[in-house]
Amino acid sequence: MSDLEFDDNGLGVWADEERFEVTRERIVAYAEATNDPIEAHLRGDVAPPVFGIVPVFESLMTPTIEVVPIQLIPRVVHGEQDFHFHRPIRPGDKLVSRAKMTGYEGLEKGTRAAVYIECRTEDGELVNEQYVTCFFRGHNAGKAVGELTPEHKFDASLQDSAPVAKVSQHVDLDQTYRYSPASGDPMPIHLDDEIAKSAGLPGIIAHGLCTMAFTSWAVLTEVGGSDVGRLTRFAVRFSKMVIPGDDLETRIYRKGSANGITSYGFETARGDDFVITDGLAEIRD
């Protein structure tokens, strides 16, 4: 096996469980760090949807390094995130998460790999499922193995009609310094300008999941009655980096309804550039 060969024996293998106790204070901190305007979130009565990454964050890395060569870990970027919600997270929840890598695919500019995460209560109640796509820049694994994440492609024909809502948002200059402790993500490219530049970035960049959190409250306030309990699925593709100080606009389009669920496609733009694409929200009527 070469140094940069993926180890297929690690596919489909559950990593050890991680435990997390949800506090009202942690929910409030996350809502404040993502400029969330929804009162129930700011009071800590119920967690915002993208807070779902916080209890499972430690679960992500272990199954990844069981498959992916350690030399490629510094090249990883978060490609896509897809939440499937069974119920909201509330203060006092004692959550247990576990993860496994399910597959990967070599592409011209790198390799995308899929991680599946399951989050339950200690009693076994399923709270959410998450599908994470990681992209390892500059290395083509040369084959496709296993299962990748579910599709959530934006239908370009939606743009033939006007969006049902547009939400303007601003990424604060101190956003990353607030988001990092609230989320538990210590990656230095979000906190240290010199380290970010040494990684080939223009400087500090915003956390992709912070931008995703912005889009989630835009969707909830405009078409979800600000009720996180109605959200059953929320997925995005991270297409371009966001810089502190950026002004964004989230554009929401109605796709259709079936079985008591209305689906919306959305995109988030910075001027002419789209920083979030393939957005999908499914909301109970």
pLDDT tens for the 285 residues of the chain, in order: 457 899 999 999 999 999 999 999 999 999 999 999 999 999 999 999 999 999 999 888 899 999 999 999 888 889 999 999 999 999 999 999 999 999 999 999 999 999 999 999 999 999 999 999 999 989 999 999 999 999 999 999 999 999 999 999 999 999 999 999 999 998 888 999 998 898 888 999 999 999 999 999 999 999 999 999 999 999 999 999 999 999 999 999 999 999 999 999 999 999 999 999 999 999 999
Buried b (16+ CB within 10 A) or exposed e, 44-60: bebbbbbbbbbbbbbbb
pLDDT for 187: 85
Per-chain mean pLDDT for the chain: 95
CB atoms inside a 10 Å sphere around CB 94: 13
CB 89 within 8 A of CB 51: yes
What percent of the chain has pLDDT above 70? 99
Most distant pair of Cα atoms in the chain: their distance: 54
Q: Which amino acid, 116? A: Y
The CATH number corresponding to 8-284 among 3.10.180.10, 3.10.129.10, 3.40.1010.10, 3.90.1150.10 equals: 3.10.129.10
As to burial, measured by CB atoms within 10 angstroms (0-12 exposed, 13-18 middle, 19+ buried), residue 183 is: buried
Alpha-carbon span 220 to 230, nearest angstrom: 9
Q: Which residue has the tokens 């694409």?
A: 277
pLDDT for 2: 56
Alpha-carbon span 159 to 163, nearest angstrom: 7
Secondary structure, 3-state, the chain:
CCCCCCCHHHCCCCCCCEEEECCHHHHHHHHHHCCCCCHHHHCCCCCCHHHHHCCCHHHHHHHHHHHCCHHHHHHEEEEEEEEEECCCCCCCCEEEEEEEEEEEEEECCEEEEEEEEEEEECCCCEEEEEEEEEEEECCCCCCEEECCCCCCCCCHHHHHCCCCEEEEEECCCCHHHHHHHHHCCCCHHHCCHHHHHHCCCCCCCCCHHHHHHHHHHHHHHHHCCCCHHHEEEEEEEECCCCCCCCEEEEEEEEEEEECCEEEEEEEEEECCEEEEEEEEEEEEC
pTM of the model: 0.95
pLDDT for 200: 82
94-134 confidence digits (pLDDT tens): 999 999 999 999 999 999 999 999 999 999 999 999 999 99
